[in-house]
Amino acid sequence: MRKPRRPDPEVHESDYRVPAALGTAAWAVALIVLLFMGDALPETERWWIGVCATGMGLGVFGFLYIPRLLRKRAEAAERGADRGPAAHDRSAT
């Protein structure tokens, strides 16, 4: 006989800015190291400079986009709460 399933843990909301800033900073450090290597960096490995720049760009994009995404989700949830459960039941049919 199986044990009863335990309830799911509460969702833990974290601050998105910390991992976004740390990741972007890590890509920036890697880019600086590669640029300081100069000619010591083999020609076949110079593509890493583009990877670092792309990582930084995506980090900045995420840092700027996530607040907008969270705001839109909150607005959508608020609109859904304003309609009430009856409006949701009618839209399902």
Domain ranges of the chain: 17-82
Q: What is the pLDDT of residue 33?
A: 95
Q: What is the pLDDT of residue 3?
A: 86
- CA distances, 68 to each of 19, 58, 79 (Å): 17, 15, 16
- Show the DSSP H helices in the chain as ranges: 17-37, 47-92
pTM value surpassing 0.85: no
pLDDT at position 45 over 80: yes
Q: What is the pLDDT of residue 72?
A: 92
Residue 85: pLDDT band (50, 70, 90) is low
Q: Which of 30, 81, 34, 35 is nearest to 59 (CA)?
A: 30
Each residue's pLDDT tens digit, 3-31: 888 888 887 777 888 888 999 999 999 99
Mean pLDDT of the chain: 86
Q: Exposed e or buried b for every residue in 9-26, given b needs 16+ CB within 10 A?
A: eeeeeeeeeeebeebbee
